[in-house]
Structure 1
């Protein structure tokens, strides 16, 4: 008998019919002899609806009250799913995050887990009940309700699996992790397995599921993850530690991301400390910088370009324009028409020539590269947003991901 923590996202519990499907799946899992802990998100788009409602009431709502409001969505879903289990004759009990033992720091809207004390969850399991836990929530060290932020239900499930010594299954509206977005490249293949490091790189490059924070937690605590579809119930993708005895695929996936913008600060005096001032000022405005390129100095001046989330573009531009006046830089150029295409694969560490193939493939298809960033298992290129889908498709084909089973 195994212990399985099963997490269901908002689309998986969006209405009563879907909740009954989830309850039936839990009942079948129990019949095969496994213990189940259930983690659920708010129904459908309820979190968005609550955020919108708050915006109609207040222009600057307090973080404490926002956490109280948003976590109500998960509590509603846990009660309803528990009722659906009761209808099938399955003993179950709903728990808020605090009742489940999640102790967090005092940050509102993005709380971090400090400790998990799942005593009541263990008791429910010992008494033959299915614990149904509200995702993405806990109680702070100051005894206030806290919200983990977007994707926090994944983190709840991983943390419970770690604390209870179980396996974590993340059920969502996709059937696993694919070599690329099937909506862009219909030939994309589902990966049977991917390493934690590869998954973290994919998440950082724009892969929306699972939540990056949950993958980080799983890697730290060595919790195997299984990403599956809540609509087909078929086996999905396992995310686990890299097997040193297995040869890794040269490229496991291609990820496109159109959520970033670029700023170029031209004519910057090439002096020690200027870049530090720039990026410290950006950090002070909570602007998250990704890729950075500084050109070769000419006549004592250089250009600095960096990428940032499009949502941060106004703040980033304001910082650059303010600093440009102080240091005598010439031009600040914002650009929200870029896209990032990234290749990820653990096998890059032992296969030379990957970068050359990337550059040759993009050039052969008339796609210009504006910036390049690499790690041991990733290559990212900034291209024009209009070329992004084409770049993803041609690179996916160039590395045979549409033909060869991966993982």
Structure 2
């Protein structure tokens, strides 16, 4: 008998018929002789609805974080109660718990809390009694008893944390796609589903814009070596197993093409090329808690240099304002920005042992007339910044160049990737 943790996102529990469908899937897993814990998100759109109510009653001011978490946590309480009722109607013993009832202990960072500990005692008792345990995702409780939430996609993290605490054989993430693909099938219809991928590759993909799994969930799974499997809630299939890199396993050169539209670029022209200038440029940005991604500094000419960096598009205006404000004291000639960019990335552990990956990438983009503005590399990733209008063309070109197209020419229908 294996212990399996299953997580179902908002699309999977969006309606009563879908909740009943989840109940049948969970019951079938239990009937196969497995212990099972089910983690649920709120119904699709419910968190946004509650958030809108909070801003309405606050007259568009930012609601108090503690009370906002109290409100948002109610979405998952609805789905866990309904699923438990649906299971009981099928004659399957079940019991549901909120994050506070389990005692998923977190820090006190409301809206972005991190899990510190899990008291699994009640869950283990229920499992021994043959019950399906249903747990609210996305939420926990701090040491003062205040309800906290884990941020968007937090139900993934809840599921992985429970799997680690309970020693589960596998954590299954059910979504509206049937696995992890070589790229977004909505951009490249001939993208292939991957049978397996390493934690390292999935972590890069999540950080580069892939929305199949929340990045913190992947980090957690890799740290505690919890095998993850991405599956479809609506279709039968093996999904994609996310696991450890097997020594000696023959890896493909490139596993996937990731892209991220949420990028913006800032450039500072004509700053003095002296020690510490990079720290002076990025210091105010960092102090404002704005994350910087790619950085390029040009070769000095006549004692001056140009400096370019990227930030998340939602933080662009603030970053530009701060940089312009400090431009004069930096001695800069000009500061300007660009939000019409996108980041394209190759991801694959196979590139560790293969040369000329970058050359093939650059050639494929050049053949389509796509100019590269910035380049960043790591051991298993190469990222470039290009004009946003080339997102689809560039992704398709790279997909072909690295032989990732489905050989059967299959077209993939995708409802829309969910994280929650």
When the two structures are superposed, what TM-score results if normalisation uses the length of structure 2? 0.95
Counterpart of 1:125 in structure 2 is: 127
Tell me the secondary structure at the aligned position of residue 6 of structure 1: strand
Alpha-carbon distance, 1:403 to partner: 4.6
Aligned length: 405
Q: Deviations over 1:46-84 (max 9, x none)?
A: 011111111112202111011101111011111111111
Counterpart of 2:55 in structure 1 is: 55
Counterpart of 2:197 in structure 1 is: 194
Match of 1:215 among 214, 218, 229: 218
Tell me the secondary structure at the aligned position of residue 12 of structure 2: helix
Q: Is 1:149 equivalent to 2:151 in the alignment?
A: yes
Counterpart of 1:302 in structure 2 is: 305
The answer to whether the 8 Å contact 2:281/2:330 transfers is no
Counterpart of 1:184 in structure 2 is: 187
The answer to whether the 8 Å contact 1:154/1:170 transfers is yes
Match of 1:330 among 333, 338, 346: 333
Alpha-carbon distance, 1:404 to partner: 6.0
Alpha-carbon distance, 1:268 to partner: 1.2
Alpha-carbon distance, 1:280 to partner: 2.0
Mapped to 1, the partners of 2:80 and 2:286 lie a distance apart of 38
Q: Is 1:84 equivalent to 2:86 in the alignment?
A: yes
Counterpart of 1:261 in structure 2 is: 264
Listed as ranges, the matches of 1:26-175 within 5 Å are 26-58=26-58, 59-166=61-168, 167-175=170-178
Mapped to 2, the partners of 1:334 and 1:13 lie a distance apart of 41
Mapped to 2, the partners of 1:322 and 1:213 lie a distance apart of 34
When the two structures are superposed, what TM-score results if normalisation uses the length of structure 1? 0.98
Mapped to 2, the partners of 1:222 and 1:343 lie a distance apart of 25
Alpha-carbon distance, 1:298 to partner: 1.1
Q: Deviations over 1:81-108 (max 9, x none)?
A: 1111111111111100021121011110
Counterpart of 1:7 in structure 2 is: 7
Tell me the secondary structure at the aligned position of residue 405 of structure 2: coil
CA RMSD of aligned residues (A): 1.0
Unaligned runs of 5+ in 1: none
Tell me the secondary structure at the aligned position of residue 101 of structure 2: coil
Unaligned runs of 5+ in 2: 409-420
Alpha-carbon distance, 1:213 to partner: 0.4
Higher relative contact order (CA 8 A, sep 6+): 2
